[in-house]
Structure 1
Amino acid sequence: MKTPIKALFFIVCSIFLLVSCSRKKDKFINRNFHAVTAEFNTLYNGYNALEEGRNTLNDSYFDNYWDVLPIERMQIVDEVILPGQSKNENFTKAEEKAVKTIQKHSMNIDGKEKNPQIDEAYLLLGKSRYFDQRFVPALEAFNYILYKYPASDKINQAKIWREKTNIRLDNDELAIKNLKRLLFQEELENQDLADATSMLAQAYLNTKSVDSAITQLEIASNATKSNDERGRYRFIQGQLYNQLGKKDSANIAFESVIELNRKTPRIYMICAYLEKIKNFDYENGNKLELVELLEELEENRENRPFLDKIYHQIGEYHLTNQSDSLAVVYYNKSLRTDSRDKQLKARNYETLGDMNFDKSIYSIAGQYYDSTLTNLVLNSKPYRVIKKKRDNLEDVIYYEAIAKVNDSILNLVNLSEAERLTYFESFIENLKIKAEEEKEKAEAAERNKGLATVNNTIGQVNRGIPGLPNQAATFYFYNPTTVAYGKNEFVKIWGDRTLSDDWRWSSKGQSITIGGGVSNNDIAASATEDEIFDPQFYISKIPSEEKEIDSISKDRNYAYYQLGLIYKEKFKEYKLAKDKFQDLLSSNPEERLILPSKYNLYKIYELLAENDEASIAKNEIINDYPESRYAFILKNPELVSEKDENSPESLYEALYIQHQNQEYKDVISKSEDYINRFDGEAIVSKLELLKATATGRLYGYEPYKKAINYLAVTYANTPEGKRAQDLESNVLPKLASTEFVEVNDSIVSNYKVVFQFKNPEKEQLLAFQKDLDTVLKSIKYYKLKSSIDVYSPEVSFVIVHGLKNAQIAQTFDQLLTKENKKKIKEPYFAVSSANYQIIQIHKNLEAYLNRDNN
């Protein structure tokens, strides 16, 4: 009997399922079957996938607490997503489940949906698309709910999500209008009210209506069921009050975040503390309480993940309190936490750079600014500000290094033999002590050698190393624990060593320099075991030839002069500038540097209100250099206009106009004269670049290449020198070829007709060009024009432009009437624009004209 009953029961269930599976019958059993199946199967799995995707977004999102936080934690990525692609597989899965629910369980009968879960499916569809940042398709899903299911219990949620999507699409005004209407028409409660008002606050923030945003955030923070959201909303309120300058209201908002304690993410509480500290009144506040609070935050073990921010704020406190040394300690502590916050690191580096800049330690400041730039967004406004500041330090760092190195060399040159011996004996004693310490460390390392590897080999097997079987991981570098141990041990024993030859020598960290810029690092590296501890070995490296010493002295003096100018003009550090010019004048400088140095000293004395010194300097210039431009300026200040015709700038401008007029020979000659006259001034590198350009235009590629190389080497740290370096690296190689381009009308579409004149008078060229222009105007179907180009000191060209065909260019005379031919009798040749460029660059006209004969 049992078997027929079971079979009968199975048959009845099957029939029941078959009957209930129909989506075309509006029966109780059909509606509930599809509703339950949709809710507890596809929709359940879809919402699980959506939640996993949101958690992934939250984990990967990094809030920028230096700016007002967005209401919703979601990183918008500016990437084009093609159809069928997705940023997150979980959202794709959620979307697929929503679509499956609609396809398999929708019961659209007589134009009405009978399955109450389908609106939920469309809501899931819209949310999954929203978080996948496909906002237009998401908007379609939410609008479909509003259109098709106006009586749905999810209608308010659909309206809120629609406006969230509108905000993401920058339709803020529309979102404000719709959300305000929703709040007016519906009695929203709890989470729906929190979601609507928080999104309204975001729209107000986007439209710069800060007061209205604060009001809506207050409603949202009271209505939300999530303490995570409550902490975030109140923290944003505090930020907005700070933005409005209402520090008391901001502190109340931050205090409400702190009171939530462990109910909300700890990062909100820590940042609320730090924001309150930033609002501290240093004039009237209790500094002792503030210090105790900072110490408590620092010592609390739960705050270890946030020590980067805490250390930075402690550094800010000490800096404001004028305890610079303590501030430096804490800024460095913040940097050593290996923070993920790049803006925090940038601020630490920038502050340390500014502190060194204010102390005139420019080389160290430059290094800090370099580190700042690596943590800023490329080409952002903060990046450009720091980049400009760093570029201004380039020259001072360069010349300070030269001055320091050459001063150390000259100091050694001026020591007596006994003093040199004493100096290097002391140096060698330090070298021996360090060598002994290194030997002990090396012995300790030898004793520990292999210990970590052996210990980590026991019970270990290879996991995930391509190409190797599952066996004991005996190779040191296959075990990350052992590698980390090895790195730590190396640093403990040897310190932080750069990757270079002879890295064991501690002397590589020394900074004395001997002879022609060669450091003792290089000397020690090249020394034998006997030489390295021999004072005479180092003494023998000190330059002794008068020519070499003079060269070092000249370089040092020029560096002093440039530093004086930089400190005076760029940084307004008049005392530093005065010291450099005075050091220069006391160092037996070249004649060319004496007069401009004295004049700059005179100007500095005036700026520092040192009137007696200024008067002495003025009289020296007038009496010792009566014919100089500086003496004329000092004797006749009322006759010197703001733009002196004889100033370097005015002369350069006049010379540049001559260059534009192709008077290259005069430009080269006058440039050489001005370079000698203004030697040591900033205008010289500009004159050198102008001279190099004129040389290239007149004499061709090789002389131009030589002039550019000279400029790049001699004036390496000027803008013109850097421009020359760029030309040498990137432009000159492209111009090096002398091969002419084969004429092909399908490729080459521009041709020139060239009339050649040898040793012409300027009036002759202008008269011919005038006649030619008259003729060109009468030629039909072509828009032709002419120009005059200098080819060489002896040869000039008159060029016809605008021809698009080689054959027409070669038979140019056939375009002329008989009357015009009488005016234009000179011979000509046709050339493509590309070949004309090669002719002008390499001055190989003869090779071009004779190419058919070769």
Structure 2
Amino acid sequence: MKASFKVPSVIACSILLVVGCSRKKDKFISRNFHAVTAEFNALYNGYNALEQGRASLNESYTDNYWEVLPIERLEVFDDVILPGQSKNETFATAEEKAVKAIQKHSMNIDGKEKNPQMDEAYLLLGKARYFDQRFVPALEAFNYILYKYPASDKINQARIWREKTNIRLDNDELAIKNLKRLLTQEELEGQDLADATSMLAQAYLNTKAADSAITQLEVASNATKSNDERGRYRFIQGQLYNELGYKDSANMAFDKVIELNRKTPRIYMISAHLEKIKNFDYETGDNMAVLELLTDLEENRENRPFLDKIYFQKGQYYQNTNVEALAVEYYNKSLRTNSRDRLLRAKNYEILGDIYFDNSIYREAGNYYDSTLTNLEMNSKPYRLIKRKRDNLEDVIYYEGIAKTNDSILRLVRLPEAERVAYFKSFVEDLKTKAEAEQEKAEALERNKGLATVNAGGRQTTPFQGVGAPAEASFYFYNPTTVAYGKNEFVKIWGNRPLEDNWRWSSKLAIGNPGGAAATDIVATATEEQLYDPQFYISRIPSEPKEIDSISKDRNYAYYQLGLIYKEKFKEYELAKDKFQELLQSNPEERLILPSKYNLYKIYELLGETSEVTIAKNEIINNYPDTRYALILSNPDMVSDEDENSPESLYQALYVQYENQEYAEVISKSEEYINRFEGDAIVPKFELLKATASGRLYGFDAYSKAINFISVTYANKPEGKEAQYIETNVLPVIAKKEFVKDIDSIRQQFKVVYTFKDAKREQLEGFKTELDTVLSHIKYYKLQSSVDVYDPNTKFVVVHGLTNKQVANTFEQLFAKEDKKKIKEPHFVISSANYQIIQIHKNLNDFLNVDTN
């Protein structure tokens, strides 16, 4: 009986509770029911999701300590968020819970909110949108609190968060105005004061008012309840003092960070120590004390995650105290920590590159600059600066490689037979030692390859084979033996090649001894029997005079180019002098002797070697009296860069001839100037002009051959790179010889062509003048004519402006009766596309025998 009575009682109470807790009735039970339910259900879960999302943001965020830190750790992305989308699911959950609290527990009765938790719900809604980087909707939520809940105890927080959002929307001036008003009108305390002043500091930072930001950070540091925030604010203060040049004040701020010790994240303490060391005066300070501090930081086990920064700073210390070897060692140590700080890696590589550059070890410097570029943002200002420096090294690395390779070959050529045998016996022994070491390594890997281990449950498993690879994976990159074999085979076949575009080009060969890359190729092509036979290598040493002479010429030209590069680009006059002197002692070709002597004369002048200047000057004037160099030295006031005989003036004059279609003359004079100015920087320009003229006069094959020559011979010059581009992108497009089918379309142009064989200039000009007169009488068409060179013996007079093939075929019917008697020469009609083909490939006869209708 009691049980049967209990069930209806429970049902009745539930009904009364639900009816009594209506959101439409302003009752004590209703208000408290919805307030408690909202606070301990939706809002509780919402704030948990919000904190979880903030924690994930902090974990993924990486501060850039090379710049002034932002007040808040939040990376803003430029991605556009569409309605209904979210960057972070936890913030979407927090927003969902806030909306649920508002929808299910809001008690808006007679225009007034009766649930005291609704301001908290809107605050959660705004925060979730803010961290999800939907700043405009977030601003709406915070403004709603200020509009609907002016008496809320969260009103100051809403104002602060609104200004945080304005700052994210780049409304810094408005944020400063509103935050200053808030601080004036309200007596903020504790965390609210810290949040307001720290955000005001961020607005000042954004408007470049660093001194005002420091003042606000001081207030925020004293007011905040979070030691994490206190350490960050103090550290930013130190950075700002450094920017303003107040090193003593900066060090005091960093000391306050250090005093916090374990109360604040350790990265702030370590960075504060390092920033103080950066401010150290090496001339007046205690250098040993700094070294002891750096050593203590290095040896402290707690600082292991920050060794990349500590090693870098220790490298800086040794560099500032002129202990270069130790500086290089610590920069390399910093790199070996595999730091996640890309800018730190870039600085390590750049500094090492600069050290090698200053020591004139340009190949190593180039490698370090390459690594620097991989760690910098593409097309940023630092990237462009390093790229320019690296490009300047391209030529010197290229020619140093040629000089080193050919020198080693020539040394082998000059060695007596007995010394050759001894040299290559040693070389073969080294090869055997390396081969045995590689074999032992491969055998060890093979033995370990299938090694089984037993896990805790007694089941056998194979060793881990790669990141993310299952035990049974067979992908060959997971097999270290296969990878090692592949590397060895690559080196055997291709040599040590840098990772770059066009790595298969012969000019990209690595340099080694003996014979540099040549030796690598020889080893790669040797059979097992030949590989360890000294006579095999001796037999490959050049013996033909013609071949040896060619190697010597390439070496001498490399010396000449290196002398110019060191003199003009790097201002390394001693290095330049050495190269020119070595060249003159190496029996160079006649064309390189006089330019080398003149450059030596200029170098002696720059170095202040008066006696050498006089000797060099007199030698050029006395031994080469009819040359331009002698004229310059004898009468310097009469010669200028604009002299009509200067290379630049001659090039300009020759280019005018090219534009006038005097292609044969351009080719002939280009060859003359190339020989005359051999070694001058303008020679590749003449080569490119000659190649273009050859293409216009002789067609595609001549042009292709000339462009290939330039791309190989001047690979590191702008003209060589342009030729490489033409070879890769232009030649394949214009190589097509097939004629295009004529389509009578308004988009297709047609030409009427009159052919003249071995015609004199006066004949061509007379015909063109008469043709122009006739064309001027034609109505409805705007026609023009031109004289085009086809080949050395043939010229065309071409009529342009016809857009209809039928009209082109009946061209003479457009003439007046009296004009028809004036123009009687035979002609043919051709589309513009096919005219381009016959000019490129010189295949007019093929066109005349093909039906393009």
Is the shorter-chain TM-score for this pair beyond 0.5, marking a shared fold? yes
1:127 maps to 127
Measured at CA, do residues 57 and 795 of structure 1 come closer, stay the same or move farther in structure 2, by a change above 3 Å?
A: same
Mapping for residues 51-70 of structure 1, pairs under 5 Å? 51-70=51-70
Task: Check the 8 A contact 2:739/2:852 in 1, yes or no.
Answer: no
After superposing the two structures, state which structure 1 stretch, 319-328 or 134-143, moved more: 134-143
The alignment status of 1:629 with 2:628, answered yes or no, reads yes
Matches within 5 A, 1:302-701: 302-431=302-431, 449=448, 453-455=451-453, 459=457, 472-474=460-462, 477=465, 499-501=487-489, 513-514=513-514, 518-519=518-519, 521-527=520-526, 531-701=530-700
Q: What CA deviation, in whole Å up to 9, does each residue of 1:152-188 have, x standing for no partner? A: 3322222222222222222222222222222222222
**Does the 8 A contact of 2:424 with 2:537 survive in 1?**
yes
The residue number in structure 2 matching 1:749 is: 747
3-state secondary structure, aligned to 2:46: helix
Q: Is the 8 A contact 1:755 1:826 kept in 2?
A: no
Distance 1:182 1:543 in 2: 87
Measured against aligned partners, the alpha-carbon deviations of 1:202-251 in whole angstroms (never above 9, x if no partner) come to: 12111111111111111222222111111111111111111111111111
CA contact (8 A) 2:785 2:797 kept: no
The answer to whether the Cα contact below 8 Å between 2:277 and 2:290 also exists between their aligned partners in 1 is yes
- Say whether the 8 Å CA contact 2:87–2:132 is kept in structure 1: yes
CA distance in 2, matches of 1:141, 1:818: 87
Q: Within 2, Cα distance between the matches of 1:779 and 1:163?
A: 75
SS in 2 for 1:499: helix
Query: Match of 2:52, SS?
Result: helix
Q: 2 CA distance for matches of 1:23 and 1:180?
A: 39
Could you say which residue in structure 2 is the equivalent of 1:466?
A: none
**CA shift for structure 1 position 145:** 2.5
- Name the amino acid aligned to 1:3: A
Equivalent pair of 1:125/1:138 in contact (CA under 8 Å): yes
Identity of aligned residues (%): 70
Distance 1:18 1:199, change over 3 A: same
In structure 1, the partner of 2:504 is none
SS at match of 2:310: helix
SS at match of 2:488: coil
Question: 1:663–1:47: structure 2 CA closer, same or farther, 3 Å change rule?
Answer: farther
Worse overlay, 306-315 or 587-596: 587-596
Q: Structure 1 residues 535-544 or 421-430, which shifts more?
A: 421-430
- Asked whether the equivalents of residues 768 and 797 of structure 2 are also in contact (C-alpha less than 8 Å), the reply is no
Post-superposition offset of 1:530:
5.6
Q: What is the match of residue 706 of structure 1? A: 705
Task: Mark the CA change 1:154 to 1:742 in structure 2 (over 3 Å): closer, same or farther.
Answer: farther
Shift of 1:314: 0.2
Residues paired across the two proteins, number = 832
Deviates more, 1:616-625 or 1:310-319: 616-625
Output the CA distance in 2 between the equivalents of 1:809 and 1:848.
Answer: 17
The residue identity in structure 1 corresponding to 2:577 is: K
Secondary structure class of the residue paired with 1:59: helix
- Write out per-residue CA displacement over residues 234-282 of structure 1, whole angstroms, 9 at most, x where no aligned residue: 1111111111111111111111111111111111111111000000011
Return the alpha-carbon distance in structure 1 between the equivalents of residues 828 and 21 of structure 2.
91
For 1:220 and 1:495, the matched residues in 2 are separated by: 57
Decide whether the 8 Å contact of 2:742 with 2:852 is kept in 1.
no
1:218 partner letter: E
What residue is the counterpart of 1:220 in the other structure?
Answer: 220
Identify the residue that residue 207 of structure 1 maps to in structure 2. 207
Superposition deviation, residue 571 in structure 1: 0.7
Of stretches 343-352 and 661-670 in structure 1, the one that deviates more from structure 2 is 661-670
TM-superposed CA distance for 1:310, in Å, is: 0.3
| Deviates further, 690-699 or 352-361 | 690-699
Supply the RMSD in Å over aligned alpha carbons.
3.5
CA distance in 1, matches of 2:324, 2:744: 72
**Compared with structure 1, are the counterparts of its residues 625 and 167 closer, same or farther at alpha carbon in structure 2 (3 Å cutoff)?**
same
Query: How far is 1:426 from its partner?
Result: 3.8
Distance in 2 (alpha carbons) for counterparts of 1:173 and 1:727 = 54
CA pair 238-20 structure 1, distance change in 2 beyond 3 A: farther
- 8 Å Cα contact 1:753/1:828 also seen in 2: no
Match of 1:467 in 2: none
Query: Aligned letter for 2:353?
Result: G
SS in structure 2 of the partner of residue 571 of structure 1: coil
Cα deviation, 1:803-830, whole Å, max 9, x if unaligned, reads 6666666666777777988998877766
| Partners of 2:697 and 2:789 within 8 A in 1 | yes
Of 198-207 and 294-303, more deviation after overlay is shown by 198-207
CA distance in 1, matches of 2:44, 2:559: 77
Q: 1:123 to 1:782 in 2, by over 3 A?
A: farther
- Cα offsets for 1:303-354 (capped at 9, x unmatched): 0000000000000010011000000010000000000001000000000000
349-358 or 165-174: which moved more?
165-174
1:536-576 deviation digits (Å, cap 9, x = unpaired) = 33323322222221121111111111111111111111111
Structure 2 match to 1:301: 301
Q: How far apart are the structure 1 equivalents of 2:85 and 2:767? A: 68
Superposition deviation, residue 16 in structure 1: 3.2
Between stretches 302-311 and 111-120, larger displacement belongs to: 111-120
SS in 2 for 1:351: helix
Tell me by how many angstroms 1:118 deviates.
2.4
- d(CA) in 1 for partners of 2:294 and 2:848? 84
- Deviation (angstroms), 1:285: 0.8
TM-aligned CA deviation for residue 99 of structure 1: 2.0
Aligned equivalents of 1:819, 1:147: Cα separation in 2: 93
| C-alpha distance in 2 between matches for 1:525 and 1:205 | 61
CA contact (8 A) 2:146 2:158 kept: yes
Rate the CA distance shift 1:603–1:263 in 2: closer, same or farther, 3 A.
same
Aligned equivalents of 1:579, 1:301: Cα separation in 2: 51
Bigger mean CA offset, 317-326 vs 789-798: 789-798
- The one-letter code sitting in structure 2 at the alignment partner of 1:420 is R
What pairs with 1:55-94 in structure 2 (closer than 5 Å)? 55-94=55-94
- What's the TM-score once normalised by structure 1's chain length? 0.89
Q: Which amino acid aligns with 2:706?
A: A
Aligned equivalents of 1:74, 1:62: Cα separation in 2: 9
For structure 1, the 5+ residue unaligned runs are 462-471, 484-489
Cα shift at 1:643:
2.5
Alpha-carbon shift at residue 443 of structure 1 (Å): 7.2
What residue is the counterpart of 1:115 in the other structure?
115
How far does the alpha carbon of each residue in 1:37-73 deviate from its partner, in whole angstroms, 9 at most, with x for none? Answer: 2221122212211211111111111111101111111
**Stretch deviating more after TM superposition (773-782 or 82-91):** 773-782
Quote the residue 1:273 is aligned against: 273
- CA distance in 1 between counterparts of 2:141 and 2:394 reads 57
Output the CA distance in 1 between the equivalents of 2:396 and 2:492: 32
Shift of 1:437: 5.8
Partner SS for 1:518 = helix
Deviation at 1:835, TM superposition (A): 4.0
1:723 paired residue number: 722
Q: Cα–Cα, structure 1 residues 80 and 481, in superposed 2: closer, same or farther, change >3 Å?
A: closer
Rate the CA distance shift 1:513–1:288 in 2: closer, same or farther, 3 A: closer
How many Å separate the matches in 2 of 1:479 and 1:203?
45
What is the CA-CA distance between 1:736 and the residue it aligns to?
1.6
Aligned partners of 2:405 and 2:517 also within 8 Å: yes
Distance 1:416 1:819, change over 3 A: same
Give yes or no for contact 1:705–1:728 (8 Å, CA) kept in 2.
yes
Residue 577 of structure 1: how far off its partner (Å): 0.7
2:350–2:372 CA contact under 8 A, matched in 1: yes
Distance 2:659 2:78 in 1: 46
Quote the offset at 1:799 in angstroms.
Answer: 4.7
- Structure 2 distance, partners of 1:774, 1:42, is 92
Give the conservation status (yes or no) of the 8 Å contact 1:441–1:494: no
**Inter-CA distance 272–806: structure 2 relative to 1 (3 Å threshold):** farther
What residue number does 2:11 align with?
11
Normalised to the residue count of structure 2, the TM-score between the two structures is 0.89
Give the Å deviation of 1:665.
2.8
Aligned to 1:800, the other structure's residue is in SS state strand
Pair 439,753 (structure 1): closer, same or farther in 2 beyond 3 Å: closer
